[in-house]
Copies of this chain bind each other. A is one copy, B any other.
Amino acid sequence: MRKRATAKQVANAAGVSKWTVIRAFTEGASITDESKRKVLEAAAALNYTPNLLARSLATKSTGQIAVFVDDFANPQKLPFLETLTEQLQAVGRVAMLININHHFDHVHALLHADQRQVDAIILFGTAFRDETLTDRQLGNGTPPMFVLARDSQIEGVPAVVCDAELALREIVDHLHDKGYRRPGFMSGAPALSTALRRREYFSKFWSEKGISHIAHFAAEKYSFEAGALGIRNYLSSTSKDRIDVLMCENDILALGAMDEIRGKFGLSVPDDIAIVGFDNYELGGSSAYGLTTYEQPLREMVGVIIRMIKNEHDPETVTLPGRLVLRSST
């Protein structure tokens, strides 16, 4: 039964004190080349590596970043998580993935992250009201928080988001140019929807073009199924003067809606109803869907969050431009 070797054991083997061993493993510590060599040799023989747990306790820095996620229905979460974990690991951090759900809510998660002494908390696509926070005296002892891919609804907590105003302006301009005049908008979970501000700007820019009525569809949550359900009732009850274009708050809703429109109602996209999504999820680009959408600058967004975590960037909300992706659905 090999156990992890400790600095003390290495010290004995190398004939030095354990502090010299520590120094051999500390960047820029003052130590002779000779000592360092002896230590590293002994360490290799004993398969020694520093215990990060003990190091964290002493330094009060764990290198662990809690990532809160409360919605796994959107497949776009996956590339985001990939980029996030990759970039975190590239700077010596590691992600603690925390699933926020009915059994484990934000308060639990916050307490847990705090108890584990994480260096920071990333609210990925999640946010919550200020009230739950003031209880916890946030901003004092708790780790710094950052919101990713949603507007922050918490005073003093910065967010990194894709520029919704710019995005919706480009989208509405495009739709208007294409000749669409009866727009509809489908939003997802109400609590999250407002933080995206997509509907808000969608209305605003249509209104600037003289169109003030936007049909609104509320999906229960962000999922394929919810997207289909969100439009079903409308399609079966309305046949004339229908919307001619539907913007959905994200791609997965849009794909669900498109599937319903074409598959279940036999309508044509974009001839009967055009569709726009948001995220540029890979499958939306398939020839089966050809979904026009808006791509978030995922790598850049994650990059900014990481620099904030490393204190290389002021903790202020950052808004990055995305990219309109035109396909056959419009």
Interface stretch of the complex, out of A51-59, A165-173, A194-202, A303-311: A51-59
Q: Which residue of B lies closest to A52 (CB)?
A: B115
A259 and B282 contact, Cβ closer than 8 Å, known pairs A53-B62, A89-B103, A112-B94: no
CB atoms of A90 and B115 under 8 A apart: no
CB atoms of B98 and A85 under 8 A apart: yes
Which residues of A, 39-93, contact B by the 8 Å Cβ criterion?
A: 47, 49-54, 56-57, 62, 64, 67, 72, 75, 77-79, 81-82, 85-86, 89-90
Interface stretch of the complex, out of A8-16, A148-156, A214-222, A286-294: A286-294
Residue A242, interface by CB 8 Å: no
Q: Which residue of B lies closest to A87 (CB)?
A: B99
CB atoms of A289 and B287 under 8 A apart: no
CB atoms of B72 and A75 under 8 A apart: no
CB atoms of A140 and B2 under 8 A apart: yes
Contacts of A137 in B (CB 8 A): 2, 47
Q: Which residue of B lies closest to A3 (CB)?
A: B141
Q: Pick the contact of A141: B2, B111, B140, B288 (CB < 8 A).
A: B2
Query: In the complex, A225 Cα to B287 Cα: how many Å?
Result: 11
Of A53, A101, A137, A140, most buried by chain B (CB within 10 Å of CB) is A53
CB atoms of B86 and A101 under 8 A apart: yes
CB atoms of A98 and B89 under 8 A apart: yes
Q: Pick the contact of A99: B2, B86, B96, B101 (CB < 8 A).
A: B86
Residue A117, interface by CB 8 Å: yes
CB atoms of A97 and B95 under 8 A apart: yes
Residue A244, interface by CB 8 Å: no
Flag A213-254 by CB within 8 Å of B: 1 or 0 each: 000000000011100000000000000000000000000000
Q: Pick the contact of A282: B54, B64, B98, B224 (CB < 8 A).
A: B224
CB atoms of B75 and A103 under 8 A apart: no
A-B contact pairs, 23 of them (CB 8 A): A1-B141, A3-B141, A4-B114, A4-B141, A47-B137, A49-B111, A49-B114, A50-B115, A51-B115, A53-B57, A53-B117, A67-B97, A72-B78, A82-B99, A85-B99, A86-B104, A89-B104, A95-B97, A225-B282, A256-B286, A262-B288, A263-B287, A283-B283
Residues of A within 8 A of B (CB): 1-4, 47, 49-54, 56-57, 62, 64, 67, 72, 75, 77-79, 81-82, 85-86, 89-90, 94-99, 101, 103-104, 111-112, 114-117, 136-137, 140-141, 223-225, 255-256, 258-259, 262-264, 282-283, 286-289
The 6 A-B residue pairs with the shortest CB-CB distance in the complex, in nearest-first order: A263-B287, A2-B140, A85-B99, A72-B82, A75-B75, A97-B97
**Further contacts, 17 of them, CB under 8 A, given A49-B115, A90-B104:** A1-B140, A2-B140, A2-B141, A3-B141, A53-B62, A57-B57, A75-B75, A77-B78, A81-B97, A89-B103, A94-B98, A94-B112, A96-B96, A255-B288, A259-B288, A262-B288, A263-B287
